[in-house]
Amino acid sequence: MKYKRVLLKLSGEALLGSQQYGIDPVRLSQYANEIKEVNQLGVEVAIVIGGGNIFRGVQAEGTGIDRVQGDYMGMLATLINGLGLQSNLEQSGLNTRLMSGLNVEQVCENFIRRRAIRHLEKGRIVIFGAGTGNPYFTTDSAASLRAIEIEADVVLKGTRVDGIYTSDPEKDPNATKYDAITFKEAIQKGLKVMDMTAFTLCEENKLPIVVFDMNKVGNLTKLVQGDKVGTLVS
C-alpha cells in the first residue's frame, strides 16, 4: 500500500451530482462505497468536505450578510454534509466519527488532535466538519491543516477533473495534463490547485497533494495502492 493514512478532500459541489441543490443520494452512496473499499484495505481515512452545495461563505457578500456570518453559515453547511456522509458510511457497516471545529456537542465531537489520531488507529473513518472553526479560511485550508495535524501521508483532492492541466480542460480543448509537478512550478505557472493558504501549508510541511477525479469509480483505490492516477504535487 503506497499510503497508510490519507486525508480525502471533497468539495460540497461534488455532492450535488445531477441536482441543482443539496445532496444527491446516488453520488453520496458512490463515495461511501469508494471510501469503504479503501478502508477495508487497511488504509486510515480522514475526510474534509466542503459546503458549497448548500452555502458558501463568499456568496454572502452582496446579499447583505456580513462576511464573517457568511463563513460561519458555510461551516455549518459542511457539518450538514458531514452528517449525511457519516450516515451513509455507517449504513455500509463502517465505524465513523464526525469531529467539528465548532462546538456542537449534541451533534458531533469537538476536534481534539490526539483523539482524532486514536480514532484513525482504531480503523474508524474520521470526518472533519466546520472547516478550521475560523472565518476567512476555506475548507482547502482546513484539509491541509487537519492533514498535517493527524500526520497524514498525503492530501487527496477529489474533483471533477482527472488532474491538473495547463489550463481549464472544460474550457480549453488544447489543455494538457501534468502527471507530476512541484509546488514551485505550480505557483510559477499560476495553476489553481488549492487556495494559497492551503497550498503554502502543504509546501512548508512537505505534504504531497494528489488532484484526481473522484467521480470515476475505482480511482481512490488505485491511488492508495500506488497506481498513477491524477496529478501529484510535491
* 77, containing H or E segment: helix 67-91
Q: Taking 80 as the threshold, does the pLDDT of residue 9 lie above it? A: yes
Q: What confidence score (pLDDT) does residue 58 get?
A: 73
Average pLDDT over residues 93-114: 97
C-alpha–C-alpha distance, residues 117 and 124, integer Å: 10
CATH of the domain at 86: 3.40.1160.10
pLDDT score of 226:
94
- Let me know if 208 is exposed, middle or buried by CB neighbors in 10 A (0-12, 13-18, 19+): middle
Asked whether residue 220 carries a pLDDT value surpassing 90, the answer given is yes
Average pLDDT, whole number, for the chain? 94
Which residues are CB-contacts of 232 (< 8 A; sequence separation ≥ 6)? 179, 180, 181, 208, 209, 210
pLDDT per position as a tens digit, 16-70:
988 889 999 999 999 999 999 999 999 999 999 999 999 877 777 778 899 999 9
Q: Tell me, what's the pLDDT at 102?
A: 97
pLDDT at 92: 93
pLDDT of residue 223: 96
Domains identified in the chain, total number: 1
Mean pLDDT of 94-104: 97
DSSP strands (E only) in the chain: 5-10, 44-49, 96-100, 109-110, 125-129, 154-159, 164-165, 177-178, 180-181, 209-213, 231-233
Alpha-carbon distance 56 to 98, whole Å? 20
Q: Give the pLDDT confidence of 137-149 residue by residue, as tens digits.
A: 999 999 999 999 9
Range of the domain at 73: 5-233
Q: What local confidence, expressed as pLDDT, does residue 167 receive?
A: 86
pTM: 0.95
**What is the structure's pLDDT at 171?**
86
- pLDDT over 80 (residue 112): yes
